[in-house]
Structure 1
Amino acid sequence: MTTILSDTETRVDDRESDQNERQSSPGGDTALEHSSAQSTHAATICVVGLGYVGLPLAVGFARSNYRVIGYDVDDVTVGRLQEGIDTTGDLSDDAIQDGDISYTTDASEIGAADYVIIAVPTPIDDDDRPDLGYVESAASTVGSTMDPGTTVVLESTVYPGTTRETVVPALEDASGLTAGTDFFVGYSPERATPGDADHGLEDVVKVVSAQTEAVLEDVATLYESIVDAGVHRAPSIEVAEACKVVENAQRDLNIAFVNELTMALDTMDIDGRAVLDAAGTKWNFHDYRPGLVGGHCIPVDPYFFAYRSAQEGFDPELMQTGRRVNESVPDHVAELTIKALNQCHKTLRESRVLVLGLAYKPDVGDIRSSKIGTVIDELQEYDIDVEGFDPFADDEAARESFGIEIQDRLSFEGFDAVVLATPHEEFDHLDLEEVADELADEPALIDVTGAVDDGVAADAGLTYRRL
């Protein structure tokens, strides 16, 4: 197995050393028979999957002077990267070409890597069950090309047991090699936060795990070379797999609590935000705010944990209740909009609503896991005409995803209501009086996240609603 701990040998010599060790010690535990690599940054790393997790990883290793191969099956993504275009919006065009990095759709190039990091999507299906199709496909592709001595690290979010029960068999079947003897595996959960410059790859503690202590130290050393915040060595692969889904399930539950709280308080005609502000004056009160729960992690990870738990005969009821609460919020937002239109004496089928912000979180353009689509669908059930505007999202992709007209330039002219769904920073500077002047008579503002001061909205002549 190649390690990254020494300065003495060339990569070619290292591979030959690996092979000689296996020939001289048949049946031995080669996971413990480390041949020394030539330098800390001499190893070649392949990142499989160049999305919002994989691309920053590839760039991070390249910046740290590793040779990096970025592999993806998407011709368009790879083509744009080869042209020097940042496909995530979180890096920069210069960053993706910074260092010894190449982008390819040729799977045979994976075989040149000493370490292969799999960072492919793990969605849920229509029945809220984990879909491991991308992981299995990636593992089979890696297995079909990798050489003995390779270390494969999974970063995709999975339920506990996936690495050993799904990834290892796929690698073994495709390669004809044996895990722990001919190649080695680890797991390190991604903790990417798109759009958050303060919590990038280098700034967040990396949890790592592997099948043996020796492999764990090797993988930990690899990640320590690019993560300034440090590395946490988990005692088992299953602990590392579980920690990822648990940390997001915790957030989901906390958000579900405040979502349910504010909906309940609304029935009592009590300002939920004011209640949270008052409760927040206590030193140990946790500050969570209501809103739509979208994205690739929080709305998905609890289902991974619940699925695995159910296989073992335990039903995590609280976790699933939290999911149901948060999944009900889009319908509640649509209901708030309809009530506001009624309060403004609007005929629903003649009403026009402008949705500001279509991405799942502020200051990013990712609409794939946005919950605003459910709000739009519900409004259209009442024949309400809905348009959208998002300064970050791709207009054509938004039209196709949400089935509505998308403005290329922001205009409030003639709309009966505005739903401020995603409070991009650009919207902070809106003059509500000017907005109200452009809107139809007796306009409404539905402020999903509470980004606008209700008093300012009222002074501008807007009927104001929020979660």
Structure 2
Amino acid sequence: MNPTISDTDNRTDGREHDRYPLSRTEPQTGGKRKAVDESARNATICVVGLGYVGLPLAVGFARADYRVIGYDVDESTVERLQAGIDTTGDLSDDAVRDGDISYTTSAGAIADAEYVIVAVPTPIDDRNGPNLEHVESAARTVGSKMTAGTTAILESTVYPGATREVFVPALEDASGMTAGEDFFVGYSPERATPGDEDRSVEDVVKVVSGQNEKVLEDIAQRYESVVDAGVHRAPSIEVAEASKVVENAQRDLNIAFVNELSVAFDQMDVDARDVLEAAGTKWNFHDYRPGLVGGHCIPVDPYFLAYRSSRDGFEPELLRRSRVVNESIPDHVAELTIGALNECHKTLCESRVLVLGLAYKPNVGDIRNSKVADVVDALTDYDVDVEGFDPLADDDDVRETFGLDVQERLSFDGIDAIVLATPHPEFEQFDLEAVANALAETPALIDVTGSIDEDVATDAGFVYRTL
């Protein structure tokens, strides 16, 4: 059995595909959502993995009048979706209920689909290497159920080459079929942005790729019927895979630069944000701001690219250095907090610090891979008593993940310092003067993202710090 994707594509469902080397596929970017003929909409699409990537995608295809199967191994997730409950917080219960979409834990339903889209997590392991066990497991499940002529599309973030090296062999082994002859493969990296109402599936240009030009065009047309922003046809699967990790590696590099500037200017007693504002008056200056780098993309994707590059003999020093810089910022936030407490003449072992916002970004309740947890750990190393509050996160999950006391109802009584780590919109309503009066005498405010005006904070009575 051939473990690679064949350039020869003889589809077994009656639709003929010619032979096209990957290098012959030209990149193209579409415009508005394109109409799809009714016969094409008769296709059934199965989305495997109904998390923050897969569920919006399934709903998007259902809105475009496709028959959709949503498959997930998590019974509680599927039960809630079957009850019409949005499990992501980014859609709505109506969106989950509407359209021709069924949610199931039965892998046998995969056999009913002409297109299977795999959107499962791809974390890093303890050594910061790619962990593709979910991709391989999902591919084996899909391969064991899919029928000849199926097109399997991977959306999970992977290193360049992983679709051919991991996804395809697992599909082939489980199905007993050969990619490019009996079934077909594409890759389209997810670009989900949880918590951003202006950037849903329909609003973000979709990069797509296929094993040859005919498969590419077939996949592109499916996505074009859903994505208003258009579709970019990548010339190869490897280009599409690389584009995803580069998107976030670039952001990691730029944030690392301003984070390093923030630490350097703090030593010089120069306001880093004032510096960035002044520098930003030049037309070609890119506006990045210092902060914690958490979540599922920016702190993860650079490791995928570094892994593949190192494996091929080139050590990407800048990529790895950026990771080191950004991973050091939680300790720096803790040091800023300790410095502010000292300025307020507080005894550290008797101080109480309240961390506001525990999720990895504003407007979401997801605490997985939140770097606020590292801030909490660093503060407890100083024997500071730390409490947390997040109006969007699940309190029990926070207690288990962060290992700290959680306020279920916000209280400032006896608090010596506030660390505003994740500025949810709910915190914008605070009357800072009233908050300061409710705190212990001479309170400190560590505003990690700089979301509060320093003059307003100091006028309210806070000793103010920011990155």
TM-score by length of 2: 0.93
SS in 2 for 1:169: helix
Where 2:465 maps in the other structure, the secondary structure is strand
CA distance in 2, matches of 1:399, 1:39: 52
- Please say if 1:67 is aligned against 2:67: yes
For residue 187 of structure 2, what is the amino acid of its counterpart?
A: Y
Residue 405 of structure 1 and its aligned partner are, at CA, apart by: 1.4
**Is the CA contact (8 Å cut-off) linking 1:31 and 1:181 kept in structure 2?**
no
Aligned residue-pair number: 444
- Report percent identity of matched pairs: 73
- 1:368 aligned to 2:362? no
**Counterpart-to-counterpart distance in 2, 1:195 and 1:252:** 20
The corresponding residue for 1:450 is 450
**Are the counterparts in 2 of residues 29 and 181 from structure 1 also a CA contact under 8 Å?**
no
CA distance in 2, matches of 1:184, 1:31: 13
Partner residue in 2 for 1:397: 397
How many Å apart are 1:31 and its aligned residue?
9.7
**Could you say which residue in structure 2 is the equivalent of 1:252?**
252
| Structure 1 letter corresponding to 2:299 | P
- Name the structure 2 match of 1:40: 40
Q: Which 4+ residue blocks in structure 1 deviate beyond 3 angstroms?
A: 17-22, 28-32
Tell me the distance in 1 between the aligned counterparts of 2:248 and 2:103: 31
- For the residue of structure 1 that corresponds to 2:445, the secondary structure is strand
Task: Report the counterpart of residue 171 of structure 2 in structure 1.
Answer: 171
- Residue-by-residue CA offset, 1:27-62 (whole Å, 9 max, x unaligned): x97999xxx996131100000000100000000001
Q: CA deviation at 1:19?
A: 5.2
| Aligned residue type for 2:168 | V
Which residue number corresponds to residue 4 of structure 2? none
* More RCO (CA 8 Å, sep 6+): 2
Which deviates further from its counterpart, 184-193 or 37-46?
37-46
* 3-state SS of paired residue (2:338): helix
Structure 1 residues 85-100: aligned runs within 5 Å: 85-100=85-100
Q: Which residue in 2 is equivalent to 1:223?
A: 223
Given residue 381 of structure 1, which amino acid in structure 2 is its aligned partner?
A: D
Q: Give the residue type in structure 2 aligned to 1:234.
A: A
Q: Distance in 2 between matches of 1:134 and 1:216?
A: 25
C-alpha distance in 1 between matches for 2:46 and 2:216: 18
* Residues 6-405 of structure 1 aligned to structure 2 (within 5 Å): 21=14, 39-405=39-405
Q: Helix, strand or coil: the match of 2:41?
A: coil
Cα offsets for 1:115-172 (capped at 9, x unmatched): 0000000000111000000000000000000000000000000000011111110000
> Deviation at 1:199?
1.2
What amino acid is the match of 2:234?
A
Alignment partners' CA distance in 1, 2:254 and 2:19 = 46
**Residues 355, 419 of structure 2: 8 Å contact kept:** yes
> Aligned partners of 2:195, 2:342: CA distance in 1, in Å?
37
Offset of residue 200 of structure 1: 1.1
Cα 1:99–1:261 change in 2 (3 A) is same
Amino acid at match of 2:213: E
Relative to structure 1, is the Cα distance of residues 30 and 177 closer, same or farther in structure 2, using a 3 angstrom cutoff? farther
Between the aligned partners of 2:274 and 2:13, the Cα distance in structure 1 is: 70
RMSD of aligned alpha carbons: 1.8
Cα–Cα, structure 1 residues 115 and 441, in superposed 2: closer, same or farther, change >3 Å? same
**Partners in 2 of 1:31 and 1:184 — Cα distance?**
13
- The question of whether the paired residues in 2 share the 8 Å contact of 1:37 and 1:43 is answered with no
SS in 2 for 1:283: coil
- Counterparts of 1:75 and 1:289 in 2: how far apart (Å)? 40
Q: Which amino acid aligns with 1:100?
A: D
Report how far residue 76 of structure 1 moved: 1.1
- The gaps in structure 2 that reach 5 residues or longer are 1-9, 22-35
Q: How much does 1:350 deviate?
A: 0.9
- 1:4 maps to none
- The one-letter amino acid paired with 1:123 is P
Give the Å deviation of 1:407.
1.3
AA of the residue aligned to 1:196? D
Change (3 A) 1:20 1:381: closer
CA deviation map 1:84-136 (0-9, x unaligned): 11110000011011101111111111111100000000000111000000000
Is the Cα contact below 8 Å between 2:417 and 2:444 reproduced in 1?
Answer: yes
Q: Counterpart amino acid of 2:382? A: Y
Q: Is the 8 A contact 2:12 2:182 kept in 1?
A: no
Q: Partner of 1:414 in structure 2?
A: 414
Tell me the distance in 2 between the aligned counterparts of 1:417 and 1:167. 49
Q: TM-score, normalised by structure 1?
A: 0.93
Amino acid of the structure 1 residue aligned with 2:453: D
* Cα distance in structure 1, aligned partners of 2:69 and 2:304: 30
Indicate the SS of the match to 2:40.
coil
Work out whether residues 395 and 406 of structure 1, in 8 Å CA contact, stay in contact via their aligned partners in 2. yes
Check conservation: 2:11, 2:181, Cα contact below 8 A: no
Contact 1:31 1:184 in 2 (8 A): no
Q: Who is 2:31 aligned against?
A: none
